[in-house]
Chains A and B, each alone.
Chain A
Amino acid sequence: MNFKLTEEQELLRKTVRDFAENEIGPKAAEMDEKEDYDWSLWDKMAEMGLTGIVFPEKYGGAEMDYISYALATEELARVDASSSVVIAAHTSLCSWPIYAFGNEEQKQRFLVPLAEGKKLGALGLTEPSAGSDAGAVKLSAVPDGNDYILNGTKAFITNGGKGDIYVIIVSTDKAKKHRGTAAFVVEKDTPGFTFGKKEHKLGIRASYTYELVFENCRVPKENMLGSDGEGFKIAMAILDGGRISIAAQAVGIAQGAYEQALAYSKIREQFGRPISANQGIQWMLADMHTRIEAARLLTLHSAYLRDAGQPHTEESAMAKLYAAECSMWVTVKAVQIFGGYGYSREYPVERMMRDAKITEIYEGTSEVQRIVIANSILR
């Protein structure tokens, strides 16, 4: 066993922390308030190579491991959860399936500009009537010559509207249910592909969430990832890795809120002494710190398994489940420690508490994670 980060991982953590604090931090509250992302930050993240951390250098990536990716995601989320999901959705949900299931030509065409940050990626899996039951996707893809014609709607798509490249999970054969699915790469501005409404949300408000609408949208067969019938399989593989990044995001949000609460508890005086002098506050802080550390270890362990090429479906589900619930719990406590000020937008813990909630919902709700874990242990 070895719990020590490598020198590169340490330097990466420090670099991303400095970047997040200096460049993103001053903008986080305003981006949340305006429900808009400052895309100049994307350009800076691209320049640093945060847009392709885990991909080989020959595809424009930095060729780092998933532990590094988890650390970077945590550091971004510690300051701004929205920035971390922009990167996580781009990397795990869009670039990764192209890397893992795309052919060489698709990698050159799509993965390279994604990893270099010249293009922004998104995944369209969820539909208005297919959320937790992702195998029930209805968006249809009907072959027509060398093309497929797509019709249907995707809901709640992160990086929608702004994204250039979309991985879309479609149904090619309704009768075969989830075995009759496929994954396509669809580029923005393809005729017949438009954006529906933008969601107005509780948290991660700077991150874009859009409906995607396909009306007789013609996509060449060469844009299919893997083969027909593999759509659901690809989606599940995407989530095995994606959940590590959401777990890391949850840890980051919690860490950010905890640090704020810890500092505040030492300077806020009531009854003639700092509130941190009360055991009630001390125990809250101790529990927050402990849970975050446990969540971080689960997260890094699932990243470690992925790096080692070992199965990690169960572990990444456990990490995501625990980290998300930890994040929600910790941020509620952070607001509590701030008292009335925690409820006010003047302090970041209010935003962090709203941001934490999404980690219990996307890439599989906490109930779905429990289903995944139970299936694994009862098999």
Chain B
Amino acid sequence: MKIVALVKQTFDSEAKVVLGGGKISRQGISLIMNPYDEYAVEEALKLKEKHGGEVTVVTVGPDEATEAVRQALAMGADQSILVNPGTEDIDEYTTATILAKAVSGLEYDLIIGGFRAIDDGSAQVAGRVAEILNLPVVNMVTKLEVDGGKAVATSDIEGGSAVMEVPLPVVITAQKGLNEPRYPSMKGIMQAKKKPLKKIGLGDLGLDASQVAAKVKVLNYSLPPARAAGKIIPGEPAEAAAALAKALREEAKII
């Protein structure tokens, strides 16, 4: 089975975001593989272990995104492609167009990515890739079985879940709960540096900047207001509870 895993490098979820010059500052921020993409890579590896085949990791990002790619290789992926778009001004259209182009040059039975990235949280990219490649897509998958040319996927839907059957090739997006991503092993880390990591640019894919230029422009970023200090309600338990209920109703207006 040939599996393509789509991976994005994101800010660490614990990173403190600072704005500077209308942009999110990258300074002093540690970068990680998008956690939903870790589920995707893990699932790809499990399928490979079960059915044989190979896993190719594809990412769009700056050169430093090699760290996330190496992590996927150290987990057990076989090869990887990093496409550097040459600019930071990209949107979901840019990313999906590049990914689809890169993936279209590969053999695949299944394409899997995270259902969203924890940084911009748009949850669009994998779906757009499916659209461009004219493939079916199942989103927010928490359980996946692949056999006999079809996939059976359990997908999160509002208030419950749905079990869906779909022919291969298909695009799957991973939701939390799909699996427990493995830690790269020490041997895996050593092997990762020997595995192919193809760094390419738009030109190598036959694309030029105008074809992938972002359609959406961010006008302004803002941080949420600082959380106000907590409030301690003193007094006897019965009185304090009454005061709390009153505050929740009248001040916070949440009950």
A contact set with B: CB distance below 8 Å: 7-8, 10-12, 14-15, 18-19, 47-50, 52-53, 57, 62-64, 68
Contacts and interface: CB of A to CB of B under 8 A. Distances in A.
B187 interface: yes
A62 B66 CA distance: 22
Given A7-B70, A11-B71, A49 B187 contact: yes
Task: Classify the interface of chain A: helix, strand, loop or mixed.
Answer: helix
A15 B67 contact: no
Interface of B: 66-67, 70-71, 74, 183-190, 192-193
A15 B183 contact: yes
B14 to A, nearest CB: 10
A15 B190 contact: no
A15 B71 CA distance: 9
Task: Classify the interface of chain B: helix, strand, loop or mixed.
Answer: helix
Nearest to A19: B183
18 contacts: A7-B70, A8-B189, A8-B190, A8-B192, A10-B67, A11-B67, A11-B71, A11-B184, A12-B186, A15-B71, A47-B185, A48-B184, A49-B186, A53-B186, A62-B185, A63-B187, A64-B190, A68-B186
B74 A11 contact: yes
Given A11-B67, A18-B183, 6 more contacts: A11-B184, A11-B189, A15-B74, A47-B185, A48-B183, A57-B187
Given A15-B183, A15-B184, A7 B193 contact: yes
Contact of B193 (A8, A18, A53): A8
A48 B188 CA distance: 9
A15 B54 CA distance: 23
Contacts of A8: 189-190, 192-193
A178 to B, nearest CB: 36
Contacts of B193: 7-8
Contacts of A18: 183
A18 B35 CA distance: 12
Given A7-B67, A7-B70, A12 B183 contact: no
Contact of A62 (B67, B71, B190): B190
A292 to B, nearest CB: 19
A61 to B, nearest CB: 8
Nearest to A10: B67
B186 A11 contact: no
Given A7-B193, A8-B192, A11-B192, A48 B186 contact: yes
Contacts of A15: 71, 74, 183-184, 189
Closest 5 CB pairs of A and B: A62-B186, A49-B186, A49-B185, A62-B187, A48-B185
B189 A62 contact: yes
A52 B190 CA distance: 13
Q: Which of B71, B74, B185, B192 has the most CB of A within 10 A?
A: B185
Nearest to B193: A8
A19 B75 CA distance: 14
Contacts of B189: 8, 11-12, 15, 62, 64
Contacts of A62: 185-187, 189-190
Contacts of B74: 11, 15
A14 to B, nearest CB: 8
A18 B183 CA distance: 8
